[in-house]
Amino acid sequence: MPGKTQVQTTINGESVEFLCEPRQSLLECLRDVIGLTGTKEGCNDGNCGACTVEMDGRIVTSCLVLGVEAEGKEITTIEGIADGSELHPVQQAFLENAALQCGICTPGFIVSSKSLLENIPNPSEHQIRFWLANNLCRCTGYDKIVRAVQDAAVKMQEA
Amino acid sequence: MTSTQYERNVILSNVDYDVVGTRPIRPDGVDKVRGRALYAADFDASGLLHGKVLRSPHAHARIKSIDVKKAEALPGVMSIVTGKDLPESEKDSDRYARENILAGEKVVYKGQAIAAVAASNPHVAEEAVSLIEVTYEVLPPIMTAPQGMEPNAAILHEGLTTEELGEKTDKVSNVANHFQHIKGDVETGFSEADCIVEREYNTVTVHQGYLEPHSATAFWNSDGRLHIWCSTQGAHPARDATAKILGLPVSQVRVTPMEIGGGFGGKIPIYLEPIAALLSKKSGHAVQISMSRADVFESTGPTSGSNMTIKIGAKSDGTITAMQARLAFEAGGFPGSPVNAAAICVFAAYDVENAQIDGYDVVVNKPKSAPYRAPGAPNAAFACEQAMDELSQQLGIDPIDLRLKNSAKEGTRRADGPTFPRIGAVEVLEAMKDHPHYSAPLGANEGRGVAIGYWFNIGFESSVSISVNADGTVSLVEGSTDVGGSRASIAMQAAEALGIPMEDVYPSVVDTDSVGFTAVTGGSRTTYATGWAAYEAAQDLNAQMIERAASIWDVDADGIECVSGVFQSKSDPELKMTFKELAAQLADTGGPLMGRAAMNAGGLGASGGSFAGNIVDVEIDPDTGKTTVKRFTVVQDAGKAIHPSYVEGQMQGGSVQGIGWALNEEYYMRDDGSMANTSLLDYRMPTSLDIPMIDTVIVEVASPSHPFGVRGVGEANIVPPTAAIANAIQGATGLRMNNLPMNPVAIMEAKWKQNG
């Protein structure tokens, strides 16, 4: 294997430098190199959405992004969603609506839902279901997740 | 029916509590929405190595040789293990368990582990695994139960002989077991029937589909003690299974359960733990192994495909005279399908005088089946509840009325032996019939189906301790891994019993050294059994608190009572202390107090079990055969819903797994016995876009055995959906779908066949 590449990027508002092999995914770099384990691996082929992060304002499955592609980008992970110790309305809504059971898909759902509400502040049920269709949840049957997003939308508009 | 509507979707219960029945935020919630909760693959240790497993490319083959020399020579490789590194076992059942961890002389499914490597990083380990050379003699695969039962079928295990009606035989066969339950006489029963329905049904292999792949880290220390951090539904059972495979006393293994990313039964068995342990012993390092998604599909237990025949006879007034089932279940590569549980559940909803159930456990060349949410019962309900639907149509009786007429109730003896205590089958059916969904109009190409299902629920062992903190809160220590909010439901039962707010209870799920034996989070037992243990621990603590108050007041303990968290003298109204006030005095009045309970909450069916029913509307696209679920209502008897939001969550989650099972999910098998769809793109579980909101109705018919009447709600909800959807499809199209999955191809083929 060739040597490691130095990557300069921004994660959750902080400037971060790391070394990675060209074959390492952004997911692997976040978890194993940088130590941000809040982003989860469910399939490693882009089908489950557990590893969803925001990169330059768009949500991506970080298992399908190479670590070296993070160069110069702005990345937000689940660890960067709360404002200090204050939960984001989406996080609060997931708690209050019991929208998580095992919790392994939750980081991906919260990153995706926050992005949805930034793009479509008052989404219909169909728009919520369509936006979240790349995030699999096997525990909840989605009902309470959809309701949590509806709840967060109301709270964010009131704020 | 006397129904007290005290909450929007809860009917029947007439007991109100302070904490039980409310909807507080779960104690572990904040960590989980902030990405701070640590799951098995998040665990790190100094000098951690990464392991990868070599898995069989063949479904059925003899292993001629394994050569690891090239792999050993790869820089960065620290240790390699094969099946020879595991201690020999004498009993067949132990050998099967061992070979499911690392193969012996044969592989019996594609994906079976053969060898493993630990290396400095996962990529090196993966490369090393590809350098291990194995030669195979490939054998023909057996893929279904009927195939395995054929007289000249290829034999998976030369040493496996059939156990026939409880007796060991010397008949070498793929049929590991044939058992029978008989009640009354079915021949007589069928002779009294005016109408008989007899049909054959088939279901295919499906996976639990938890989002977190299995992961385990092991460190075998120099003092001989093995520590494991893993994703498991039960730390103590994982400890015991690992110890058995490795030939260790249980005390030499310590399991720390990490947060668990879903299980549904699939994380009851162990897979990686003994392999990581051996790799650690050989390398001197901690070793972590995490599965890929394809590994999860091909190498962990899905639930059984099955072949079933159901025969039901009834008089013209709807009285069922006889029910008969023949259930043949795929065990996977080693004996042990859930056919026994299927036999308990298949006719459990009905009070019938004459019944016969024959069960067959058949080994086939697929991954060893593992429990999946009410294991076996959804298969059985897919068959029985469709036959019931046909019967209702032939008799011209409303399908819910037919079920009500024959419903099991307290005192009904099941075909497999036990007599039901108080159960809620009638109440669930009545709630279905009363629901506005049942009489709502249907649109074009739409159909409506109903079905009911049963799961018996289990009790078993739980241990809990509760320590009082000086600020009046308590720390609760328990052994049940929390897959779906059980920290909340257990803490709530302790809070209710102590008379303090739920927010004053801090629950921790701890390792096997730190709490007494606790059985798996499974069988719908956790809120039932560990919640009960929390209640008992609270009672134990309350008794000690009363003693302490007595010594502070210098009165007799018998004269003190505890009412809603206030300790007071029965005779002197001046003597009164809240839980908080007494807690603050403990240190100066004799020291800390701790309540404890270690108990067995009973066996199978301890709570009486839970019934769940569905009303489902589907729309079928006449051109493509695609089914859209338009409306879905699930009714379930919870006994008592401790935290109604998480009860609804169980009902909704189980329902949607049932929808996936009905319409899409299957192991699509090639002729060579390999699975063609090992990704979450091709193994298509429902997405948020595929389904509607899932309406829930919680029925509360208190279980007579539990202090709060809890029955356990995790599983019964997955039992009726496949049949309810099949019945709805029949309503929309006239097509009887006797095989799963009912995907567009199957529906179009059935339609073309019907049209000739």
Do B583 and B636 fall into the same domain?
Answer: no
What per-residue confidence (pLDDT) applies to B89? 86
Helix (H, G, I), strand (E, B) or coil at B390: helix
B2, pLDDT greater than 80 = no
Of A21, A41, A98, the CB nearest to B645: A98
* Concatenated DSSP letters of B58-92: SSSEEEEEEE-HHHHHSTTEEEEEEGGGSPP-SSH
- Cα distances (angstroms) measured from residue B202 to each of B377, B386, B614, B629, B728: 14, 12, 21, 22, 18
Per-residue model confidence as pLDDT tens digits over B375-385? 999 999 999 99
| CB pair distance less than 8 Å for A77 and B484 | no
Produce one character per residue of B415-452: b if its CB has 16 or more CB atoms within 10 Å, e if not: bbebebebbbbbbbbbbbbbbebeeeebeeebbbbbbb
Paired strand residues for B363: B332
Instruction: Say whether pLDDT at A2 is over 80.
Output: no
Helices (H), B572-717: 579-585, 644-663
> Residue holding tokens 């972590």?
B288
pLDDT band of residue B728 (cuts 50, 70, 90) is very high
Note whether B79 and B119 are within 8 A (CB). Answer: no
Closest C-alpha among B559, B591, B589, B560 to residue B577: B560
Q: Are residues B253 and B313 in the same domain?
A: no
Beta-carbon contacts of residue B6 (< 8 Å; ≥ 6 apart): B13, B14, B16
Query: Which residues on chain B are in Cβ contact (under 8 Å) with A43?
Result: 293, 679-680
- The mean pLDDT of B280-299, rounded to a whole number, is 98
Instruction: Return the DSSP state at B543.
Output: H
d(CA A154, CA B382): 41
Order across the sheet with B215-220: list the strands.
B77-82, B113-119, B49-55, B287-290, B215-220, B226-230, B253-257
Measured between alpha carbons, how far is A68 from A4 in angstroms, rounded to an integer?
A: 10
Phi-psi region of B32 (alpha: psi -120 to 50; beta: other; left: phi over 0): alpha
Instruction: Give the DSSP H or E segment for B299.
Output: helix B293-299
Q: Which of B49, B211, B215, B293 to mutate to test the interface with A (most CBs of A within 10 A)?
A: B211
In chain A, which residues have their Cβ closer than 8 Å to the Cβ of B41?
A: 31, 37, 40-41
CA distance B449 to B393: 12
- CATH number of the domain residue B75 falls in: 3.90.1170.50
- CA-CA distance, A146 to B693, in Å (whole number)? 9
Q: How far is CA B280 from CA B214, B228, B298, in A?
A: 18, 11, 25
pTM score: 0.97
Residues B504 and B567 in one domain: yes
Average pLDDT, integer, range B453-480: 97
> What's chain B's average pLDDT?
96
Q: How many CB pairs under 8 A join A and B?
A: 182
Tell whether the model's pLDDT for residue B402 goes beyond 70.
yes
Neighbouring C-alpha atoms within 13 Å toward the C-beta of B245: 30
- Token pair belonging to B455: 């799961």
Domain termination site, one of B250, B277, B299? B299
- Minimum CA–CA partner of A135 in chain B: B687
**Numbers of helices and strands, H then E, in chain B:** 20, 29
Q: Is residue B23 part of a domain?
A: no
- Give how far Cα B590 sits from Cα of B277, B465, B578, B643, Å: 45, 19, 18, 36
User: Judged by CB atoms within 8 Å, which residues 76-115 of A form the interface with B?
Assistant: 77-79, 81-82, 87, 91, 94-98, 100-107, 110
User: How close, in Å, is residue A144 to chain B by CA atoms?
Assistant: 7
Q: Residues B336, B361: contact at Cβ < 8 Å?
A: yes
Among B38, B262, B649, whose Cβ lies nearest the Cβ of A144? B649
Q: Which of B23, B123, B653 sits opposite A139 (nearest CB)?
A: B653
CA distance B258 to B235: 9
Q: How many domains does chain B have?
A: 3
At residue B16, the pLDDT reads 85
B488 shares its domain with B422: no
CB contact under 8 A, A45 and B688: no
Partner-chain contact B688 A132, CB within 8 Å:
yes
- What is the rounded average pLDDT for all residues in chain A? 97
Q: What percent of chain B has pLDDT over 70?
A: 98
Instruction: Kindly give, in sequence order, each residue whose CB lies less than 8 Å from that of residue B734, ignoring residues fewer than 6 positions away.
Output: B754
Reported as a pLDDT band with limits 50, 70 and 90, residue B14 is low
Alpha-carbon distances of B256 from B290, B461, B600, rounded to whole Å = 16, 18, 22
Cα distance between residue B140 and residue B364, in whole Å: 11
Q: Pick the last residue of a domain from B600, B623, B651.
A: B600
Structure token digits, residue A8: 């300069």
B110 and B253, same domain (yes or no):
yes
Instruction: Look at A104 and B261 and tell me if their CB atoms are within 8 Å.
Output: yes
pLDDT at B12 over 70: no
The residue whose two tokens read 């037919």 is B402
Are B371 and B334 part of one and the same domain?
yes
Contacts (Cβ under 8 Å, ≥6 apart) of A124: none
Residue B425: both structure tokens together? 């089958």
**Residue B585 identity (one-letter amino acid):** Q
Within chain A, how many helices (H) and strands (E) appear? 5, 5
pLDDT at B625: 97
B584 and B639 in a single domain? The answer is: no
Cis peptide bond N-terminal to B371, omega within 30: no
User: Contact, A85 vs A47, CB < 8 A?
Assistant: no
Is position B441 within any domain? Answer: yes
For residue B312, pLDDT beyond 70 = yes
B87-105 burial, b if ≥16 CB within 10 A, otherwise e? eebeeeeebbbbbbbbbbe
- In this structure, the answer to whether residues B342 and B220 fall within a common structural domain is no
B24 occurs within a structural domain: no
Query: Residues B553, B556, B557, CA angle at the centre, nearest 5°?
Result: 90
Same domain, B524 and B408: no
B682 lies in the same domain as B740: yes
Nearest by CB to residue B680, choosing from A43, A100, A101, is A43
List helix spans (H) across chain A: 26-28, 89-96, 106-119, 125-131, 143-158
Tell me if A39 and B35 make a contact (CB, 8 A cut-off). yes
Say yes or no: B595 and B541 in one domain: yes
Residue carrying the six token digits 């043949």:
B328
Q: Which of B10-24, B73-87, B482-496, B571-585 is predicted with the least confidence, judged by mean pLDDT?
A: B10-24
Nearest CA in chain A to B208: A138
H or E stretch including B520?
none
Instruction: With CA atoms as reference, report the closest residue to B237 among B26, B50, B470, B517.
Output: B517
Residue among B38, B212, B293 minimizing CB distance to A45: B293
- B641 contact residues in A (CB cutoff 8 A): none
Instruction: Specify the CATH number for the domain of residue B579.
Output: 3.30.365.10
Distance from the Cα of B400 to chain A's closest Cα (Å) equals 26
Asked whether residue B16 is assigned to any structural domain, the reply reads no
Backbone angles phi, psi at A77, to 5 degrees: -110, 175
Question: What is the C-alpha to C-alpha distance for residues B19 and B497, in angstroms, rounded to an integer?
Answer: 9
Residue A156 contacts B, CB cutoff 8 Å = no
> Which has the closest alpha carbon to A38: A90, A110, A86?
A110
Residue among B229, B233, B201, B383 at smallest CA distance from B301: B233
* Chain B residues within 8 A of A139 when measuring between CB atoms: 262, 483-484, 649, 653
Q: How confident is the model at residue B11 (pLDDT cuts 50, 70, 90)?
A: low
B89: left (phi over 0), alpha (psi -120 to 50) or beta: beta
Whether B152 is covered by a domain: the verdict is no
> Which of B576, B600, B624 corresponds to the end of one domain?
B600
Same domain as B232, residue B90: yes
Section B150-164 average pLDDT? 96
One-letter-per-residue 3-state SS of B465-493: EEEECCCCCEEEEECCCCCCCHHHHHHHH
Say yes or no for a CB contact (<8 Å) between B680 and A91.
no
Mean pLDDT of B556-583: 95
Would residue B165 count as lying in a domain? Answer: no
Distance CA B423, CA A85 (A): 47
Judge whether B184 lies within some domain. Answer: no
Report the residue of B25, B30, B33 to disrupt the A interface, i.e. the one with the largest count of A CBs within 10 Å: B33
Nearest CB partner across the interface for A82, out of B28, B34, B646: B34
Q: Is the per-residue pLDDT at B72 higher than 60?
A: yes
Q: Does A39 touch chain B (CB under 8 A)?
A: yes
Positive or negative torsion for Cα B650, B229, A108, B292: negative
C-alpha A34, offset from chain centre: 16
d(CA B752, CA B738): 16
What the block records as the tokens of B65 is 């040789």
Q: How confident is the model over B109-154, as pLDDT tens digits?
A: 999 999 999 999 999 999 999 999 999 999 999 999 999 999 999 9
The one-letter amino acid at B264: F
What confidence category does residue A1 fall into, taking pLDDT thresholds of 50, 70 and 90?
Answer: low
Task: Flag whether pLDDT at B6 surpasses 60.
Answer: no
Euclidean distance between the first and final Cα of chain A, in Å? 52
Asked if B688 and A140 come within 8 Å (Cβ–Cβ), the reply is no
Beta bridge partners of B63: B136
The answer as to whether B403 is a domain residue is yes
Domains in chain A, start-ordered, CATH in brackets? 5-80 (3.10.20.30), 89-158 (1.10.150.120)
Q: Taking CB atoms and an 8 Å cutoff, what residues of chain A touch B656?
A: 140-142
Q: Which distant-in-sequence residues (6+ apart) come within 8 Å of B299 by Cβ?
A: B53, B55, B111, B112, B113, B271, B291, B367
Backbone angles phi, psi at B427, to 5 degrees: -65, -40
β-bridge pairing B133-138 and B61-67: antiparallel
Which range (A85-99, A127-141, B7-21, B390-404) has the least confidence? B7-21
Is there a contact between B107 and B58 (Cβ–Cβ < 8 Å)?
A: yes
Residue B630, domain extent: 306-457+605-754
DSSP per-residue string spanning B555-570: S-GGGEEEETTEEEES
